[in-house]
Chains A and B, each alone.
Chain A
Amino acid sequence: MQAKERQYIIAPLYFGPFLMSEPLVTVQSVSVTLGGNAVLSDVSLTLAPGRITTLIGPNGAGKSTLARLVLGLVQPDNGNGSGGTVSRRKGLRVGYMPQHIKIDDSLPLTVDRFLWLAAPGPTASRRAALERAGVAHLRRRGVQQLSGGEMQRVLLARALLRKPDLLVLDEPAQGVDVAGQNALYGLLKTVRDELGCAILLISHDLHLVMAATDEVICLQRHVCCSGSPESVSRDPAYHELFGPGAGTPNLALYTHDHDHDHDLHGNATHSHEHSHHHDHDGPCNHD
């Protein structure tokens, strides 16, 4: 899907300022306590159409909780009161791709039916959505027979099928290799451009996230730092969170030679020595 082109990863910076229309979701100084533990405190976040926002942070930083807050699956402390407020644009259509879901074996459900539940309509639309996510061949398969990675693709197709205003993806790159991740982020950009939707990602992979994102939010129960990938990667708080080796300062100017094809499964169609020079081995201060 992106053969013989020279991709500048600085590209997201160009998209930055042009689409600051009415926000879809506004989270304002929200605190969330779950089971007696303060998971989020004083977190603010704005999701605007056409922008890709990525949440990064160590395990237990509250990334999933923040995403679930945006989705309305978690409420701020004291409802929408002293624990902050969450407001959504009226009639917001949301596509959600959770990390994994478990469907009971007793339910005979094909991938096609599973997609129909999200958006009833002609078969062709479901086939197209699956095609997009690279799993058209799974349409007649039972959902219980899918591997974890296949289920993720199907969940992505299901989210896309709804033509969402807001797409929320929890760890979409998990278990996908670097080439597959490139393809995935390429797809997300295309979707963003086509639908003009906002995208909220949760990710662990710093480098690729940085490359494909308009705004990065570093989370450690509160917002450590946020902004464009370039500014975040220069922020001392970011380095404190992820260690000195994470994200070189010249990240945003780093170019990526792209002269091979690969699909969403990360299968390179002809092998190629990657000319990446990431400083990727720095210790991360995960706790």
Chain B
Amino acid sequence: MIELLLPPLLAGLAVALVSGPMGAFVVWRRMAFFGDTLAHGALLGAALGLALDISLYVAVVAVCLGLAAALSGLQRQRQLAGDTLLGIVAHTTLALGVIAISLQTGIQVDLFAYLFGDLLAVGWQDVIGLWVGAIVILLLMLWQWRALLSITVNEELAQVEGIAVQRTRLLLMLLLALLIAGAIRTVGVLLITSLLVIPAASARRLTHTPAQMAAVASVLGTASVLAGLAVSWFANTPVGPSIVVAASSLFVLTLLRKPV
């Protein structure tokens, strides 16, 4: 049993660990819908990866970055609000992704696995890739922590104080795209945002500093993965949704505590 469960467990933990700090930034910068849009686009990336027979991760990251660039371009026009644009782009890319996947001939593709995750199917190769990715993302975030936090507090103050605001914002976007590519296998494109937002939101009520909030979010995310996997194993429920429900349950528990 342990040989069966170990790869999914390690894969889920890698994703949960990075989702803590990244999710904190998503919450602070109000990027939840933006992250969701990138995740929806990831399905299109996965379809392109299959069609062109290239690495799924490379294709997903490329599509996410392209989307991020297109969105920041679209947001220059002022007639439509940001969330309207995101709504258009998110669901258009999702629809295109579903169509593209359904057009694949030859191999049978399980759409459900992309939408809601297929953690139990990951192998050791995925585990190694996810941990390398996780460590790279965490190190980059640690290295640029002050810059990332500065542009989150106030971009103009950060710029005046000599922080390369554009470059830092681009770095955050790139790391988010990397994380989304990695997280597809865990919870699927429809549920990725929840793994980012819910543990960070739960951590808000328990912490006093940004670093604490990021760390506690990692811990809560990790606990959610463990609990979700356990429930899935014993009750035979789908893994991705089980992890999300576990995370939400933790969030509800934190609501019982008085805010600090």
Q: Do A and B bind each other?
A: yes
Residues of A within 8 A of B28 (CB): 104, 106-107
CB pair A73–B160 under 8 Å, yes or no, is yes
The interface residues of chain A lying within 8 Å CB-to-CB of B212 are 108
B203 nearest in chain A by CB position: A108
Q: Does B157 belong to the interface (CB within 8 Å)?
A: yes
CB contact list, B94-153 vs A, under 8 A: 146, 149-150, 152-153
Q: Return B244 CB to nearest CB of chain A, in Å.
A: 20
With contacts A72-B159, A109-B210, A162-B161 known, is A101 near B154, CB below 8 A? yes
Q: How far is the CA of A162 from the CA of B29 in the complex (A)?
A: 25
Query: Smallest Cβ distance from B70 to chain A, in angstroms?
Result: 23
Which chain A residue has the least Cβ–Cβ distance from B160?
Answer: A96
B172 at the interface (CB under 8 A from A): no
Number of inter-chain CB pairs below 8 Å: 59
Let me know if A120 and B210 touch, CB within 8 A.
Answer: no
Closest chain-B Cβ to A231's Cβ sits at a distance in Å of 31
Minimal beta-carbon separation of B208 from chain A (angstroms): 5
- Chain A residues, Cβ within 8 Å of B152: 107
Q: Which residue on chain A has the smallest CB distance to residue B205? A: A108
CA distance A8 to B154 in the complex (A): 40
Contact, CB under 8 Å: B160 / A108: no
- B27 at interface, CB cutoff 8 A: yes
Shortest CB–CB separation between residue B209 and chain A, in angstroms? Answer: 6
Q: Shortest CB–CB separation between residue B145 and chain A, in angstroms?
A: 10
Give B28 Cβ to nearest chain A Cβ, in Å. Answer: 5
Which size class do A's interface residues fall under? 20 to 34
Among candidates A94, A98, A114, residue contacting B153 with C-beta atoms closer than 8 Å: A114
The answer for the CA separation of A107 and B150 in the assembled complex, in Å, is 12
Asked if B160 and A120 sit within 8 Å, CB to CB, the answer is no
Tell me the bound Cα distance from A117 to B151 in angstroms.
10
Which residues of A have CB within 8 Å of B204? 106, 108
Smallest CB separation, A36 vs chain B (Å): 12
Given contacts A107-B28, A117-B146, contact A96 B157 (CB under 8 A): yes
- A176 in the interface (beta carbon within 8 A): no
| CB proximity of B182 to chain A, nearest CB, Å | 24
User: Which residues of chain A are within 8 angstroms of B30 by Cβ–Cβ distance?
Assistant: 104
Q: Which residues of B contact A118 (CB under 8 A)?
A: 157, 161
CA distance A182 to B213 in the complex (A): 41
B207 interface residue (CB < 8 Å to A): yes
Q: Is B156 part of the contact surface with A, judged by Cβ < 8 Å?
A: yes
Residues in A whose Cβ lies below 8 Å from that of B154: 101, 103
Instruction: Tell me the nearest residue of chain B to A107, going by C-beta.
Output: B28
Q: Within the assembled complex, what's the spacing in Å between the Cα atoms of A137 and B210?
A: 21
Check if A110 sits within 8 Å of B209, measured CB to CB. yes
Shortest C-beta distance, B251 to chain A (Å), equals 14
B22-81 CB contacts (< 8 Å) to partner A:
27-30
A73→B209 contact, CB < 8 A: no
Which of the listed residues A94, A107, A118 has the most CB atoms from chain B within 10 Å of its own CB?
Answer: A107
Tell me the residues in window 137-194 of chain A with beta carbons closer than 8 Å to chain B beta carbons: 158, 162, 168
How near does chain A come to B56, taking the closest CB pair, in angstroms? 32
State A103–B156 Cα separation when bound (angstroms). Answer: 12
Q: Find the B residue at minimum CB distance from A140.
A: B208
Question: Which A56-73 residues have C-beta < 8 A from chain B?
Answer: 71-73
With an 8 A cutoff between CB atoms, is A113 at the interface? yes
In chain B between 193 and 239, which residues have their CB closer than 8 angstroms to a CB of chain A?
201, 204, 207-210, 212-213
Contacts of B209 in A (CB 8 A): 108-110, 113
Residue of A nearest to B157 (CB): A96
CA of A96 to CA of B154, assembled, Å: 12
Are A72 and B149 within 8 A (Cβ)?
Answer: no
In the bound assembly, the distance between CA atoms of A82 and B161 in angstroms comes to 28
Partner of B208, one of A94, A104, A108: A108
Q: A277 CA to B154 CA in the complex, in Å?
A: 42
Which chain A residues lie closer than 8 Å to B149 at the CB level?
Answer: 117
Given A104-B28, A108-B213, 17 other A-B residues pairs in contact with their CB atoms under 8 A: A71-B160, A73-B156, A94-B160, A94-B162, A96-B160, A98-B157, A103-B154, A106-B27, A106-B204, A107-B152, A108-B207, A109-B209, A113-B209, A113-B210, A117-B150, A117-B153, A168-B160
The 4 closest A-B pairs by CB, nearest first: A96-B160, A107-B28, A101-B154, A106-B27
A-B contact pairs, 30 of them (CB 8 A): A71-B156, A73-B159, A94-B162, A96-B157, A98-B156, A98-B157, A101-B153, A101-B157, A103-B153, A103-B154, A104-B29, A104-B30, A106-B27, A106-B204, A107-B153, A107-B210, A107-B213, A108-B208, A108-B210, A108-B212, A109-B210, A110-B209, A113-B209, A117-B146, A117-B150, A117-B153, A118-B161, A120-B146, A158-B157, A162-B161
